[in-house]
Amino acid sequence: MENTIKPVHQKYNVRAVFGLLEAPESAEIPGLAPGLNGVPPVDPMYVFDTERTRQLTMFWVGGFKALKIEGSPAAGKTSIIEQWHARLNVPLYKVPCSPTTESFRLIGQLLPTEDGKLVWKDGPVLKACREGTSVLLDEYNTLDAGEATGLNMLLEGYSITIPETGETITPAKTTRFFATQNPEDSRAAVAGRNVQDVANDDRWSHMEVEYLKPELEEALVLRHLLAGKVDRTVAESIAKVVVQVANNVRQAFLNDAPGIDKPLSTRVLLRWAKYTVMYQGVMRKQNQSGLHYAVRQAVRMSAAMATAVNEQITLIAGYDENMQS
């Protein structure tokens, strides 16, 4: 939905909005007043990582135009951009990229009306340029490299002319472009990634995102469980185990350990923790472990990986699938 309300600029306290305690108490960051369409909803359970927040703050206040965020699957690349805009009340146009995404669909195209006429319709990139808001190109390196170069002028803030209408568009000063992608050289089996053109890649600032620090990931899992009215002691125990198992599996994956063919992501942990709570009572009656049972429903694993993960759960939880120490 397009914005018909003129954006009103508003400043926000960095400490209060993002919890960045290293920032001066009086430090403010520019955003927009509430009430615009396209602002992502606030996730009250989201945890802002200090390093990520620091880098985004520098990018934002420095007046830079384009930021590419690269990291492992489900490491939080998209969510930090969404929650950043949610807190600052800035509309964010999100585009899921694919090998068939063409640059003209991002910028705009002529579309037929009911009476047979052709009218120009802005794409998400051009909407953001007119409004001075933001656009997120998710899974950016699935784009064909040639199509990505069609954005080069806009990424640097230069004007472009729409051939179909003759209109010249200059991006508003507050227009920002974000891209997220998994590394094409990652060991994680992520298919369909392309190496982008050097000239296009040169126009982006770069930010690397890895999984949350253990204490932050535990806090995130705990928040989700407590929101479901889970007893705090039980929730803390589950959060501790699933995060420790995940970090051991991630390290084993990086070390080419046999049987471990992918890491466990944060989104998998959230599912695993919730399934554990749901299955604990039922499985306990059968002298079975809810933790061990639930992980197989939370994520698809090869037989070899399932065995390796089971062993890690037993090691950290202190009991096996049959509740034996």
Residue 312 placed within a domain: yes
**Residue-level pLDDT at 148:** 87
Q: Mean pLDDT, to the nearest integer, of 260-265?
A: 92
Same domain, 199 and 83: yes
Return the ∠ at Cα 279 (arms to 285 and 234), rounded to 5°. Answer: 95
Domain-ending residue, one of 209, 232, 257 = 209
Residue 323 lies in a domain: no
Task: Report, as an integer, the average pLDDT of 3-30.
Answer: 88
d(CA 139, CA 220): 24
Q: Which residue has the higher pLDDT, 265 or 194?
A: 265
Domains of the chain: total: 2
Q: What is the mean pLDDT of residues 257-278?
A: 94
Question: Residue-wise over 299-325: b if at least 16 C-beta within 10 A, else e?
Answer: bebeeebbebbbebbbebbeebeeeee
Same structural domain for residues 51 and 163? yes
Q: Average pLDDT in the 103-128 region?
A: 91
**Res. 3: pLDDT tops 70:** no
Q: What is the pTM of this model?
A: 0.86
pLDDT (mean) for 18-28: 89
Task: Tell me the mean pLDDT in the region 262-291.
Answer: 94
Confidence of residue 305 (pLDDT cuts 50, 70, 90): very high
Do 196 and 263 fall into the same domain?
no
Report the distance separating Cα 4 and Cα 93, nearest Å.
Answer: 15
Residue 324 resides in a domain:
no
Supply the pLDDT for residue 195: 72
For the chain, state the CA radius of gyration.
23
**pLDDT tens sequence across 176-198:** 999 999 886 555 545 556 677 78
Domain extent, residue 296, equals 214-317
CB 308 within 8 A of CB 316: no
Same domain, 147 and 193: yes
Average pLDDT, the chain: 92
Alpha-carbon separation of residue 205 from 55, 200, 201, 279 (angstroms): 10, 11, 9, 45
Q: How many Cβ atoms are within 10 Å of 294's Cβ, its own excluded?
A: 23
**Looking at the predicted structure, is the pLDDT value of residue 254 above 90?**
no
| Residues 119 and 154 both lie in one domain | yes
What is the per-residue pLDDT across 79-112, written as a single tens digit (0 to 9) for each? 999 999 999 999 999 999 999 998 888 999 999 9
Same domain, 164 and 229: no
231/192 same-domain check: no
The answer to whether residue 27 scores a pLDDT higher than 60 is: yes
Measured from the Cβ of residue 95, the count of other Cβ atoms closer than 10 Å reads 19
Whether residues 165 and 224 share a domain: the answer is no
Percent of the chain with pLDDT over 70: 95
